[in-house]
Homo-oligomer: A and B are copies of this chain.
Amino acid sequence: MNARTSLPSALLEQLQSIVGEQRVKTDDDSLQTWGLDWTKHFEPQPSVIVFPGTTEEVQAIVKLANEHQIPVTPSGGRTGLSAGAVAANGEIVISLDRMNKVLDFLPADRLVRIQSGVVTEQLQQYAEQQGLYYPVDFAAAGSSQMGGNIGTNAGGIKVIHYGMTREWVLGLTVVTGKGDILHLNKGMIKNATGYALHQLFIGSEGTLGIVTEAEIKLTRAPQDLKVLVLSVPDFSAVMPILHAFQQRIDLTAFEFFNQVALEKVLAHGHAQRPFETESPLYVLLEFEGRFEAVVDDAMQIFEHCMEQGWILDGVMSQSQAQAQALWHLREGISETIAPFTPYKNDISVLITHVPAFIADVDAIVAANYPDFEVCWFGHIGDGNLHLNILKPANLTKDEFFEKCKVVNQFVFETVQKYNGSISAEHGVGMTKKDYLAYTRDVVEIGYMRELKKIFDPNGIMNPGKIFDL
């Protein structure tokens, strides 16, 4: 089926009259580009891409879509990894690309009002220009848009200290699936006047409506960030290390990766081996070292951990360049393992359960697929693990993914056993929806379906994402 031909020509004209002729695209290139996110398993098949410039234009498009009963997919930076922004069923894709302006800044409130098409890095830089800081950061920050971050409640590498996107959103302007414009919470820190509807939109993956503007809180920029990389003998040592540091130091990151991950990054070049001897695990931690006393404290804690045998070796950054080089050992992993066609999972369990969870999954993979290489890394300070299984050279991509589907089942059963989440920060989208019940029980999912009907009675908002109607 050619989805485009199913679009009534009257509708196309109406869309053009809303946003202007040149802002409605139906050429194949555009349909391919804006119909897809970083998830590559799906065939994009939108009907049309529209580029509104205002909340009112978004509203007009959504109303039109309701009249014609045509599905709508909101589209941001398209960096999603769960196919939340993939349009594969003749959707009208509403791209927020043109709505990329910072609207206002209130210094006393440290509050910035933005359109939702503002790119994460653009906001980070804007904050820096004001002498402030927007702390949510992750690999895709150069492309991801704030609307998408809000839709998935994006997390990343600083969550242990700064929390998720949710904590920085003080207000949202949304167009609901029904076509109403709501100005939710209006930037207030304290507002106890009924249900927190903006919280419901955060993490809803565009299934309730479209976020068009947001009020975002900024904070003081951290100074003199120090990075420590530690080699650790086994997982039982990780929790006491975390505990020892957290008792006295406010960590801004606590990440881990295994030897498999480190070797891949080193083999890729542009990185220096941090220690002479190998170790099964590495921990990277970061803190603000603006006061000498804090750095001294960290050294004392480090020595204590060495004495306890929890740490085998360690290195601390002495300059910003060194800090960056150490971060690269962790942040370079995704890029370096990409050629190995990794089978990726983004899961979360309570920190308490991380060691047992990893042991369980390792055992399952080792028993069933002894030739699979497992690359673990993640934000252990918040219980978020990225499980990456690398494709053995002797398997085709299809054979490998077929086997991984079976692993999936095991992994998600283990997630369920530990009351964890099948998607920590990427969202459910289309790729995880079949597994939703491993984390949310059926009664809960029933309530979610009812909620969706309120905001989107015709079921036009990003259908097929999170759950099927």
Interface residues of A (CB under 8 A from B): 106-111, 131, 152-153, 155, 159, 163-164, 166-167, 176, 180, 182-184, 186-197, 199-200, 202-205, 208, 220, 239, 242-243, 246-248, 250, 291-294, 348-352, 354, 379, 382-384, 419-428, 432, 436, 439-441, 443-445, 447-448, 450-451, 454-455, 466-467
- What would 17 A/B residue contacts be, using CB atoms closer than 8 Å? A106-B351, A108-B239, A109-B350, A131-B247, A152-B192, A153-B192, A163-B189, A186-B350, A187-B350, A189-B383, A190-B379, A192-B421, A193-B423, A194-B205, A196-B203, A197-B444, A450-B454
Please, which residues of chain B bring their CB within 8 A of the CB of A421? 188, 190-193
Please, which residues of chain B bring their CB within 8 A of the CB of A440? 193-194
Q: Which residue of B lies closest to A189 (CB)?
A: B382
Q: Given A159-B190, A180-B443, A384-B190: A200 and B199 within 8 A (CB)?
A: yes
Please, which residues of chain B bring their CB within 8 A of the CB of A167? 163, 167
Pairwise interchain contact A109-B425, C-beta atoms closer than 8 A:
no
Q: How far is the CA of A352 from the CA of B195 in the complex (A)?
A: 25
Pairwise interchain contact B193-A428, C-beta atoms closer than 8 A:
yes
Kindly list the 3 A-B residue pairs having the minimum CB-CB distance in the complex, ordered from nearest.
Answer: A199-B199, A190-B424, A191-B421
Pairwise interchain contact A351-B109, C-beta atoms closer than 8 A:
yes
Q: Given A195-B448, A447-B454: A190 and B382 within 8 A (CB)?
A: yes
Q: How far is the CA of A464 from the CA of B152 in the complex (A)?
A: 35
Pairwise interchain contact B107-A348, C-beta atoms closer than 8 A:
no
Q: How far is the CA of A152 from the CA of B191 in the complex (A)?
A: 10
Q: How far is the CA of A152 from the CA of B196 in the complex (A)?
A: 11
Pairwise interchain contact B106-A192, C-beta atoms closer than 8 A:
no
Contacting A242 at CB < 8 Å: which of B108, B188, B425, B454?
Answer: B108
Pairwise interchain contact A155-B190, C-beta atoms closer than 8 A:
yes
Q: How far is the CA of A287 from the CA of B285 in the complex (A)?
A: 25
Q: Given A197-B448, A350-B109: A191 and B424 within 8 A (CB)?
A: yes
Q: How far is the CA of A203 from the CA of B184 in the complex (A)?
A: 15
8 additional contacts (CB under 8 A) given A109-B352, A159-B189, A193-B428: A155-B192, A187-B419, A188-B421, A189-B382, A190-B383, A190-B421, A193-B436, A293-B293
Pairwise interchain contact B451-A195, C-beta atoms closer than 8 A:
yes
Please, which residues of chain B bring their CB within 8 A of the CB of A428? 192-194
Pairwise interchain contact A194-B109, C-beta atoms closer than 8 A:
no
Q: Given A195-B203, A436-B193: A243 and B188 within 8 A (CB)?
A: no
Please, which residues of chain B bring their CB within 8 A of the CB of A180? 443, 447
Q: Which residue of B lies closest to A223 (CB)?
A: B248
Q: How far is the CA of A187 from the CA of B421 in the complex (A)?
A: 11
Q: Which residue of B lies closest to A186 (CB)?
A: B419
* A414 CB to nearest chain B CB (Å): 15
Please, which residues of chain B bring their CB within 8 A of the CB of A250? 220
Please, which residues of chain B bring their CB within 8 A of the CB of A294? 291
Please, which residues of chain B bring their CB within 8 A of the CB of A184? 444
Pairwise interchain contact B467-A194, C-beta atoms closer than 8 A:
yes
Please, which residues of chain B bring their CB within 8 A of the CB of A239? 108
* A154 CB to nearest chain B CB (Å): 8
Q: How far is the CA of A152 from the CA of B424 in the complex (A)?
A: 27
Q: Given A190-B425, A195-B448, A421-B193: A352 and B155 within 8 A (CB)?
A: no
Please, which residues of chain B bring their CB within 8 A of the CB of A445? 194
* A85 CB to nearest chain B CB (Å): 14
* A114 CB to nearest chain B CB (Å): 16
* A142 CB to nearest chain B CB (Å): 21
Q: How far is the CA of A252 from the CA of B213 in the complex (A)?
A: 30
Please, which residues of chain B bring their CB within 8 A of the CB of A379? 190
Q: Given A109-B350, A153-B192, A192-B427: A220 and B246 within 8 A (CB)?
A: yes
Q: Which residue of B lies closest to A435 (CB)?
A: B193
Pairwise interchain contact A425-B192, C-beta atoms closer than 8 A:
yes
Pairwise interchain contact B191-A108, C-beta atoms closer than 8 A:
no
Pairwise interchain contact B182-A443, C-beta atoms closer than 8 A:
yes
Contacting A350 at CB < 8 Å: which of B106, B427, B467?
Answer: B106
Pairwise interchain contact B419-A350, C-beta atoms closer than 8 A:
no
Q: Which residue of B lies closest to A195 (CB)?
A: B448
